[in-house]
Structure formats: structure tokens, C-alpha cells
A = this chain, B = another copy of it.
Amino acid sequence: MTMKNQSSQAENRKAQMERQNKEITETLSHIKNKILVMSGKGGVGKSSFASNLAVSLAGKGFSTGLLDVDLHGPSIAGMMGVKGLLDVNEDQQVIPKAVGDHLKVVSMQSLMKDPDQAVIWRGPAKTGIIRQFIADVRWETLDFLIVDSPPGTGDEPLSVAQTITGAKAVIVTTPQDVALADVRKSINFCRTVNLEIVGLVENMGPFACPCCGETVELFKSRGGQVTAENMGVTFLGTLPFDPQVVKACDEGTPIAAGGHTGPFVNALDQVVRAIVSSL
């Protein structure tokens, strides 16, 4: 390759990046509040919380979008009962799926032909696809965009945080020490990339045996609250462990979607109110 070709290629890339930056700014300009749901490690119920948060906000009448940008384990589509590929308009923009009156959903999974296929993308390719994905969705006007961000503190959450400017983070954890070590990393990650933290939610808290009613601490207790206090982060509340929450997500209808009552739904409502009032 000649030097001339190299420099004209670089200019093309630069022009493309600038066009994409404009698209991202345009897409995000109609969205009032952008919340990244994050976790230091996977399996703490981040996607389940993101779904229930979005459903709960929509249930309160807020116009809400739910975006899943986890390239390797996108699970929002299944949890929200969204099937099939998404529609694309004549400008090649992705049209979100409407779920009920005030909620729209977009998941990476809805763009993949075979949801069981492993996506093996190297770092730079991932940043590109995340940026394009955020730029290309036609949300229209939203009160809230809830983003189910990839777990950890690597390339993917970094790309999400850098692309969605003005976003704030809600960090999800479970109470045990091993998860909390990762939460401290997450908090430091947010501070490093100047991402404001709304607060910390402790998921998979106390479990009440459905047979004898006895409360069991499956993953210990209060670790999230203590960590939040130690790190100077708002503690948003504890959500109890409830196998019905797991079952509802597997069935494609988050437990917040209505008809359900009980400790989990009440605790979720408190957390959602705390988030709304802090914005």
C-alpha cells in the first residue's frame, strides 16, 4: 500500500467518524435521561434489573426506551418477549419494538440471525459496532433510555460510556464479598471515565422460603450497603431474592409488568422512585 492510499484511507475514516458522531448526537438529543445499568461482574441480575426498571418507569407513564448493548450475552430480547428481527426504515435506521404503551425495546440479539452463534469480535471491531448501534436507532422522544451495559470494566462498557454522553450509571451487585470487590472496580471505572453514579442497587438479597417463610441469606447480606457507604455512593436499596423474578424473566414478561405484588415488587418500586427523584 502506498503512503498516499494510507492517508486518503485515514481521511475517509475521519469523515465517517464525524458523520457517525453527528448521528449519535442527533439520536441522543431527544432523550431526557440516559441511565447505564452496570455491574462489575455478570450474573448479578443486571439485565433482569434493567428490564424491570424500564417496565416500571413505563408503568408510571414515562416514555421509556430499553437498549441492550451486550455483544456476547444479549438477554433483553428474551426477557421482554421480543421475537424476530427488528424493522429498518428507508434511512437504514433501526425501529424499536413497542412493548405496551410507553416502552420501546432494542436488543443486539434482534439484529442477529442465529441467537445461539457465538460472536467473536476483537476489541476495535466491538467499539465500532457499539457506536454504530447507538447511532442507528430511531427512538424519537424519550423520558428515559435504560441501557443494559456489558458487564466488567473493559472495552465494551468503556465504548458505551464514551458514546452515550450525559449518561448516568446505576450499579447492580449481589451482597457477597466476591461480587463487591468487582463493584469497587466498577465505581472506580465510572470515576475514571467521568460517568456520574446515581447509586448502587443490591440484588439477590434475603430469600423467604415459600414453604416455612424463614428468611435465608443466599449470598450473605448488607454487603452492597456497606460498600456504597464506604465508597461515598448513594445506596438505592435491596431487592429480595425471589425465584418468581427468575421465572418471569425466562418467560419474557418481567415481574414489574403488572399483576404481581409482594416484597420484590414493593422493593423495586422504592428503588425506582429513588432513581427518579435523584435525577
Contact = CB atoms under 8 A, between A and B. Distances in A.
Interface of A: 40-44, 47-48, 71-73, 75, 78-79, 115-124, 126, 151-156, 158, 174, 176-179, 181-182, 184-186, 188-189, 192-193, 207, 209-212, 214, 216-220, 241, 243, 246-247, 249-250
Contacts of A155: 121-123, 155
11 contacts: A40-B72, A71-B154, A118-B188, A119-B153, A119-B185, A121-B155, A176-B249, A209-B209, A218-B241, A218-B243, A218-B246
A181 B75 contact: yes
B192 A220 contact: no
Contacts of A75: 178, 181-182
A179 B42 CA distance: 11
A151 B241 contact: no
Contact of A246 (B44, B176, B209): B176
The quantity of this chain's copies bound in the complex is: 2
A154 B154 CA distance: 11
Contacts of A207: 218
A2 B187 CA distance: 43
Given A75-B178, A122-B155, 17 more contacts: A41-B73, A42-B44, A73-B152, A73-B181, A75-B181, A78-B181, A79-B178, A118-B153, A120-B193, A121-B155, A122-B124, A124-B124, A151-B151, A177-B250, A218-B218, A218-B241, A220-B250
Nearest 3 A-B pairs (CB), nearest first?
A43-B43, A123-B123, A42-B42
A127 B50 CA distance: 31
Contact of A42 (B119, B151, B250): B151
A40 B185 CA distance: 22
Contacts of A178: 47-48, 75, 78-79, 246, 249-250
B217 A209 contact: no
Nearest to A182: B73
Contacts of A241: 218
B217 A243 contact: yes
B214 A243 contact: no
Contacts of A217: 243
Contacts of A152: 42, 72-73
